[in-house]
Amino acid sequence: MSEIAAGPINRTASLGLTTGSTGLGINQRFQVTIDALNLGFWKSCKGLAVTFKSDAWYEGGFYDAPATYLPDKLEYSPITLERAVTQEGEATVASWLSDMARQWMDDRYCRYSGSTASITLADSELNPIHTWTLRGVFPSKWTGPDLDAMGAGAVALERLELKHTGFL
């Protein structure tokens, strides 16, 4: 269930954000928390979507009649987070991924039901605008930065992909 986040988010001086908030999420930042572990702020959050699947049903003998659509299931897209690599942020994510890998390998009976994650949209002054709460979250992919000594001025980015069972 979606909910409006209350109160200011802990401010981080290292983000170098400017003032002048409009409250519209124009200069967006996304704070991600998984089971009370703060994974920090991310510059990009893609894939926050749900698809309502349905099956078309046609009444027999009436070939020109419109289809009736029957509900089938909801499908949630994977969430892809992206940000610049920082020492503190990378250490937190690496520790969480290590814990998750250990849980997966130790779970012989496939009982892992996932975590609960919160993605909070914040404005340029880090005031919360909206929070999405995801159920059954688990990491599906982590990608480190492309390392290229000739890449003049390139920012080292990390990407984290999360799968989940829903936010509605």
- Chain-centroid distance of CA 21 in Å reads 23
pLDDT (tens digit, 9 = 90+) per residue, 72-103?
A: 999 999 999 999 999 999 999 999 999 988 88
Look up the pTM and report it.
0.76
Domains of the chain as residue ranges with CATH? 13-50+77-163 (2.30.110)
Residues 6+ apart with CB under 8 A from 47: 77, 78, 79, 80
Residues 6+ apart with CB under 8 A from 15: 29, 41, 126
pLDDT (tens digit, 9 = 90+) per residue, 11-62?
A: 443 343 334 444 554 567 899 999 999 999 999 999 999 999 999 988 877 7
Mean local confidence (pLDDT), 108-121: 84
